[in-house]
Amino acid sequence: MPPRRDAEFIVSDGSEPEDDDLDEDYVASRAARARKGKGKGKELAGDSRKAQDQSYAWEASYKRSWDTVQEDEAGSLQAAVQDLVARSKRRRLLGGDAPIRRTIIRHMMLLMDLSTAMLDRDMRPSRFDLTLSYAREFVGEWFDQNPLGQMGVVGMRNGVGERIGEMSGNPQEVLKCFADKTKLEPAGEPSLQNSIEMARASMSHLPTHSSREILILFGSLTTVDPGNIHDTVDACLRDQIRISIVSLSAEMKICRDMCERTGGVFGVALNEGHYKDLLFELVPPPAEKSSASHLAAKAAANESELMQMGFPTRLPSTAPPSLCVCHSRLRSEGYICPRCNSKVCDVPTDCDICGLMIVSSPHLARSYHHLFPAPAYKAIVELDGSEAPTCHGCSQPFPTAARDRNLVPEEGMSPFGRYRCPKCKHDFDAECDMFVHDVLHVCPGCG
């Protein structure tokens, strides 16, 4: 599941000075304290001091979320909290569902900054540890959503690019790269150019039907390059490599340029939660670059780029053990390549013997959901009395009355918690809506 922005963690935009008077917030903050149950005790002690002063520097990063919360008649905050959570959840779902040409066979090089800048502790526990753990989650999620994809890992430290993991379609192998933390100890300065060149070289042989992407997790604000990095960017542009960067500190001109020119995404993480959000936004395959000339040329040549795939025979665990071609280990389970009959341990992969791409049909089907996504549900704003009383997904009853609150109605939020599929006209609640779009990718009502 994609991560959610922690409600308490949203950074204030800092546009208006917080001239809050603590006496008014007294009740609310006490309630919030009870809810959060962690160190805000000083607020109370310091109220007289605070009243004339502005908020403390160390508090500046946190929105006083309790100020935006209102109690209902019974004095409970639960509804308000649920509302906030639902809001932040909905925010991500509001993407369009127009048919977009996407690449489902993806190749990605993950470039990790391993420079000393990663030792900074402005993200807990440290940029490096956080990046490692998020990278693990990311790899899992990525392969889950893109079963046909392949990923490699390059580290940037001491001014060179280090190949940490070869391009592989097996999530386990990629995850192995992150297993040994001591091997990845940050040192020196990063070199964007060297690392991108290395990533580029390892993707240069790929066929045209696959996407080539570079994802850079960048903590440093400098890069030590042997040559002109702009040439490298030009080369990437020629090779149709898409570069996306998640920066942990601030916007660098070259990074933004690089992303904009190659059609990637550039983001700067505000905090831990936002970092994860930015990272996981890169999980779904990107829309294919609508370079009209490129597509037109293809259409003219009537070249629909067929590719060969094999659907293997799965051996049950009761099958007689035999050696696999990938690890040369004696195992009973495995898959038989339909072309050369060799046995591999895991799919999807390229057959080591004949080079055929071996996929299982569920994998292929899973990859398809990006191309034919479940339609975005519409929020029901007004009832006309003919609705189903329960959620079509989980059969939980819907609330009958609109939540009576003077909160600003946000786009895509239903006051009744009802979200309707535009095709099958069934109503779903917020939870099911999330589940359908994030996990299932198929509308149960339509199916």
Partner 1 sequence: MKFNIDGLPIVFPYDRIYPEQYSYMCDLKRTLDAQGHGVLEMPSGTGKTVSLLSLIVSYQRHSPHPRKLIYCSRTVPEIEKALSELQRLMKYRISQAETPEERAKEEGFMGLGLTSRKNLCLHPEVSKEKKGKVVDARCRDLTNSAVCERGRADPGSVPLCDWHEKLGEKEPGNLIPPGIYTLAEVLQYGRDEGVCPYFTIRRMMPFVDVIIYSFHYLLDPKVAEQVSKEFSKDSIVVFDEAHNIDNVCLESLSIDLTRPMLDSAARSVVKLTEKIEEIKETDASKLQDEYAKLVEGLQETNNDGPDEDAFITNPVLPDDLLKEAVPGNIRKAEHFVAFLKRLVEYLKTRMRVLHVVAETPLSFLQHLKDITYIERRPLRFCAERLQSLVRTLELSKLDEHSALQKVASFATLVATYEKGFLLILEPFETETATVPNPIFHFTCLDPSLAIKPVFERFSSVVITSGTISPLDMYPKMLQFTPVIQESYPMTLTRNCFLPLVITRGSDQVAVSSRFEVRNDPAVVRNFGSILIEYSKIVPDGIVAFFPSYLYMESIVAAWNDMGILNEVWKNKLIFVETPDANETSIALENYRRACNNGRGAVMLSVARGKVSEGIDFDHNYGRAVIMFGVPYQYTQSRILRARLEYLRDAYRIRESEFLAFDAMRTAAQCVGRVLRGKTDWGLMVFADKRYARADKRAKLPRWMNQYITETASNLSTDMAIVLSKLFMRQISQNPNENQTGSRTRGRGTNASR
Residue ranges in contact with partner 1 by CB under 8 A: 11, 13-15, 17, 53-55, 57-58, 60-61, 117, 122, 189, 192, 221-225, 228-230, 247, 249-255, 267-270
Residue (6 or 333) nearer to partner 1, CB = 6
**DSSP H helical ranges for 249-291:** 253-262, 272-280
**C-beta of 38 vs 253, nearer to partner 1:** 253
Report helix, strand or coil for 192. helix
Residue 163 C-beta: closest distance to partner 1, Å: 22
Tokens of 118: 């990663």
Q: Which CB sits closer to partner 1, 161 or 334?
A: 161
Which residue's CB is nearer to partner 1, number 118 or number 148? 118
User: What's the min distance (Å) between Cβ of 426 and partner 1?
Assistant: 34
CA–CA separation, 204 and 196 (whole Å) = 12
Cβ nearer to partner 1, comparing 287 with 439: 287
For the bound state, the minimum distance from the C-beta of residue 220 to partner 1, rounded and expressed in Å, comes to 8
**Min separation Cβ 214 and partner 1, Å:** 15
- Residues 177-215 as b/e (b if ≥16 CB within 10 A, e otherwise) read bbeeeeebebeebbbbbbbbbbbbebbeebeeebbbbbb
Q: Which is nearer to partner 1, 60 or 307 (CB)?
A: 60
CB 194 to partner 1: min, Å: 13
Tell me the closest approach of the beta carbon of residue 293 to partner 1, in angstroms: 26
Residue closer to partner 1 by CB (options 161, 171) is: 161
Q: Minimum CB separation from partner 1 for residue 249, in Å? A: 6
Closest CA to 271 of 433, 123, 419, 422: 123
CA angle 309, 310, 316 (to 5 degrees): 150
For residue 168 the two structure tokens come to: 């592989």
Give the nearest distance from C-beta 280 to partner 1 in angstroms: 17
CA-only gyration radius of the chain, Å: 25
Which ranges of 17-126 does DSSP label H, i.e. alpha helix?
Answer: 22-36, 41-45, 47-52, 65-68, 78-93
Give the three-state DSSP class for 441.
coil
Beta carbons within 8 Å of 7's beta carbon, 6+ residues apart: 65, 81, 84, 85, 88
H helices, E strands: number in the chain: 14, 16
Query: Residue 221 or residue 380: which is nearer to partner 1 going by CB?
Result: 221
**Minimal distance, residue 63 CB to partner 1, in Å:** 12
Q: Spell out the SS3 assignment of 339-374.
A: CCCCEECCCCEECCCCCCEECCHHHHHHHHCCCCCC
Given the complex with partner 1, which of 58 and 293 has the nearer CB atom? 58
One-letter amino acid for residue 71 of the chain: E
Contact by Cβ (8 Å): 154, 110: yes
Partners of 5 in the β-ladder: none
Rank residues 141 and 197 by Cβ distance to partner 1 and give the closer one: 197
Q: How far is the CB of 158 from partner 1 (least distance, A)?
A: 12
CB 154 within 8 A of CB 111: yes
